[in-house]
Structure formats: C-alpha cells, structure tokens
Amino acid sequence: MREGNNTAILDIVLFALAIATVRFRYTLVSAYALNLKPCTRLYRAFLFVIMSDSKHMQLAFSLAEKAAGKTSPNPAVGAVLVKHGQVIAKGYTHPAGEQHAEVDALLKAGDAAQGCTMYVTLEPCAHYGRTPPCTKAIVEAGVAEVHYAIGDPNPKVNGRGRKYLEDHGVKVFADASVAQGYAQNRAFFHYVTTGQPYVFAKYAMTLDGKIATVTGESKWITGGAAREHGHRLRNQSDAILVGVETVIADDPQLTTRLSDAHEAVKHPLRIVLDSTLRIPLTARVIDPALPGKTLIITTNQSLVQKRQQLKRENVDVLVLGANAAGQIDLKLLLDALGQRDITSLMVEGGAQVLGSFVAAGYVQEIWTFIAPKLVGGVAAKTPVGGNGIAQLQQALQFEIKETKQFGADLWVRSERKV
C-alpha cells in the first residue's frame, strides 16, 4: 500500500515537472527508458503523447537522412506534418536553390496543412536566401504548432525563425533533440559558425598501423568492400584533398566510383596541395575528361608558366600564402574553401599532409579502415606524419562514435572531443 502511495507521489511530481518546461517533456522519455515505470493512467497517457512526439521527430530525422550529402551548402533537414496523430505529409531538403524540407511538406499537404503540427529537424529559416523563408510559408498554411530539434546557428536565422512563428501565433517547441540534430548536420554547423569546412581525415592501415610496406607499396591495404565504403564517403563530401606526393606516387583519379549507385554520384571537388607545382602534366587528376572539377593549390614559389599549363576547363589553380616552412597556409586554405561553399573536406593523405592538418588542429573527424594484416618495418609509413607531439597529454582527443565491418576490414569513425 505504501509502495503504491509512493509511486503515485512520484507520478505527480514527474508530471508537474513535465508540464513545467517543454524541455522536460523530452527528458521524461529518457526517464521512461531508464525503467522508471510509474503506473498511474494519467502519466501513461501523458507518456503516450510525448512518445508519439518523439516518434514523429524520428520520422523527420529519417527523411533528412535521405537528403544527406545532396544539399550542400545547406543542411539536410526533414519535416513531417501531423494532424490527430496521423502523418499528413513528409518533406526533406532538396538541392540548394530548391525547396527546404518544410516547404516540401507543405506543398505535398496543400490545404490539409491547416491546423497541423509540424515536426522538423532544424529551426525553420526566416530569411530570403536562395529560397523564401519557410516561416512565412508555415504561417500562411495555418500550421498550429512547430516542434524543432535544434536551432539554426546561421546568423541569418539564429532564433529569428522561432520568433517569427511565435509572433504570428504559432506554438513553438524548441530543442527537442539537440544532440541528434547536431550530429546529423555536424559539417553544416561547423561551416556556418566558422566559415571553414569540417575536416574529415580518411586512411587505411594495417593492424600494425602502416599505410604502405617499406618499399611504399599500398595497393591495396583493405579489400573491395572497404574501398567501396570509402567511395560512399566521397559521395557525401564536398571536397577531397591530397598532397602532391600522393599524386606523384599513386596517380589517383579522386573520382567517386560506386558499383551499386542507383542515382547520379557526386564527384567532390578534387584538391591537390602543391606549393611548388611538381605535379606532372600527365597526372590523371588533371585529365580534362574527368567528371567534376580539380583545384590545385600552390604558393608564389611556383612558376607562373606551369600554372598556365595546368589550367583547363575543369582544372583551376589557386595561389595562396605560405607559412614559414614554405608550405601552404592551411588557415588561408580553409577560409578560401569556405568562401567557395565547401562545407566538408575529406583529407586522404599522404602522411605529410595529414600531419600538417593534425598539427594545426584542423581534423574534426577520422575515418580509419583497419585491415587484419601485418607488414612491419620501421621505415614503413604510418598515417600521420610531421613532427608529432612530445607528451601524451598534448594528444588530440577523439571519441569513437561508430564501428562497422566491411569484408575482413574494420571501419572506425571517431569524432574530435570538444
């Protein structure tokens, strides 16, 4: 009996807290998952409401996932319109210049949008950019309530979306799933707040941490399934970067090649760092027949004549300032790429280039492929070159977020700890 009373009191306390703040409504979903199973009918009914909220938000996230990698420099967003618990329409962000997720859903719903609740993974925009503001379309369609997962830090939005909706009588529930909203568009969030692309490092190594044998042989460290996954990652990046040493040693094409592509693949901008322009004129990466574009970054140490020789319809040369060691200044590089709307950059190596990005603290995420092989040899290269650090305390800290096996190889995705 006493236990029953205690449960009822717990229910009442939780219920009061839940209605006190919107944020708590979502916190209570976790409380439920943690097995705090209060049993009053009132509370169960309340949980049902908030859980269907979270179900609709999860649907919005899965819609956004469909658009991931195809919306740059815009974030990939999902939106769902719901009335009386029924999904009326679903939308997602279309390529930049076309409709945003909210407008996509509103167009599909037509008049049925009136009185609906919208679940959307990002604060709706309130500005005229390539497209008119979503907030205006939401108000005009008569949407009653908007739940969004995370605010849009774009200085043109940043709370203005919420304010516009509230000022026009729409009920707004913000910050429902901040962590998930951030994770899904982490490159966009980084780009829109720093003006620079989010940097991924990608490499394949053996169990003993080697990217090649002592003779420099590196084809192939991993098997076909892992390499195919590498191409899938390329398909989601805005740009891919290598140093000229890699071009000279491996002569890569740096295009996206997928065996199971059902739609057109994306060829990220190919970037070659080459401070003195040692790139051979026969390199495959500057082949005019390649799809997509190549950008060669150099410094004023290179010959003007060679710069002219390299330029073609799909190949451009950009001269940037150098650091004291005569290498391309990475800050200038990332700023220049941000100005060109590059939101994500995949650095593929080699070791020297990766060493420079790591030393400058620019690597936000690492995709490591590990092949179950041992090659040995002190002279065999490891993924990150440069001078390294003296003390473990100075190491860049990462957190492993995901692991997957591809064939015999393992893929580890780690994010920089903040």
Choose from Zn ion, ligand AOF, none: what does 355 bind? Cβ within 5-8 Å by kind.
none
Which phi and psi (to 5°) does residue 244 adopt? -65, -30
- 101 binding ligand AOF? (CB under 6 A): yes
Q: Residue from 72, 74, 299, 414 that binds ligand AOF (CB under 6 A)?
A: 74
Assess 75 for contact with ligand AOF (CB under 6 A): yes
Among candidate residues 211, 261, 204, 273, the one with its CA nearest the CA of residue 236: 261
Which of Zn ion, ligand AOF, none sits in contact with 93, Cβ below 5 to 8 A by type?
ligand AOF
List the one residue from 109, 134, 240, 242 that touches Zn ion (CB under 5 A): 134
For residue 124, state whether it binds ligand AOF (rule: CB under 6 A). Answer: yes
Euclidean distance between CA atoms 29 and 134, whole angstroms: 29
| CA–CA gap between residue 402 and residue 242 (Å, rounded) | 25
- Report the nearest approach of Zn ion to the CB of residue 118 (Å): 12
130 binds, among ligand AOF, Zn ion, none (CB under 5 to 8 A by kind): ligand AOF
- By CB under 6 A, which span of 9-17, 127-135, 215-223, 396-404 interacts with ligand AOF? 127-135
| C-alpha closest to that of 218 among 101, 350, 66 | 350
Task: Tell me if 125 contacts Zn ion by CB under 5 A.
Answer: yes
Stretch that binds ligand AOF, among 3-11, 151-159, 175-183, 397-405 (CB under 6 A): 151-159
**Closer residue to ligand AOF (CB): 156 or 231:** 156
Which region, judged by CB under 5 A, interacts with Zn ion, from 92-100, 143-151, 281-289, 340-348? 92-100
| Residue 77 in contact with ligand AOF, rule: CB under 6 A | yes
Binding residue for ligand AOF, selected from 100, 162, 234, 381, defined by CB under 6 A: 100
Q: Taking CB under 6 A as the rule, does residue 149 contact ligand AOF?
A: no
Cβ neighbours around 140 below 10 Å, total = 11
The least distance separating ligand AOF from the CB of residue 207, rounded to whole angstroms, comes to 41
Radius of gyration from C-alpha coordinates of the chain: 25
| AA letter at 260 | D
Examine residue 346 and tell whether it contacts ligand AOF (CB under 6 A): no
Which residues is 409 bridged to in the sheet? 406
Task: Check residue 165 for interaction with ligand AOF (CB under 6 A).
Answer: no
For the stretch 336-340, contacts whose Cβ atoms lie closer than 8 Å and that sit 24 or more positions apart, written own/partner, are 337/196, 337/197, 337/239, 337/271, 338/191, 338/194, 338/195, 338/196, 338/197, 339/195, 340/269
Query: Is 120 an interacting residue with respect to Zn ion (CB under 5 A)?
Result: no
- Between 96 and 183, whose beta carbon lies closer to ligand AOF? 96
Which range binds ligand AOF by CB under 6 A, 71-79, 224-232, 295-303, 343-351?
71-79
Contact pick of 100, 190, 202, 270 for Zn ion (by CB under 5 A): 100
Q: Which is nearer to Zn ion, 100 or 202 (CB)?
A: 100
The Cα-based distances of 219 to 27, 213, 222 in angstroms read 50, 10, 8
Distance between CA atoms of 87 and 381, rounded to whole angstroms? 54
Q: Point out which residues pair with 326 in neighbouring strands.
A: none
125 forms part of the interface with ligand AOF (CB under 6 A):
yes
Residue with Cβ nearer Zn ion (104 or 348) = 104
Dihedral sign for Cα 348, 352, 353, 354, please: positive
CB closer to ligand AOF out of 136 and 306: 136
Q: Cα-flanking dihedrals φ and ψ of residue 200, to 5°? A: -105, 140
Question: What residues contact 338, with CB distance under 8 A and at least 6 apart?
Answer: 191, 194, 195, 196, 197
Nearer to ligand AOF, 77 or 149 (CB): 77
Does residue 229 bind Zn ion (CB under 5 A)? Answer: no
Provide the terminal-to-terminal Cα distance of the chain, rounded to the nearest Å. 49
Alpha carbon of residue 153 to chain centroid: 15
Residues designated as active site: 102
| Residues forming beta bridges with residue 414, ordered by sequence position | 366, 400
Sequence-distant (6+) residues with CB within 8 A of 349 are 202, 203, 211, 242, 243, 246, 383
Among 130, 168, 171, 311, binds ligand AOF (CB under 6 A): 130
Per CB under 6 A, residues contacting ligand AOF are 71, 74-75, 77, 93, 96, 100-102, 122, 124-125, 129-131, 134, 152, 154, 157
Per CB under 5 A, residues contacting Zn ion are 100, 125, 134
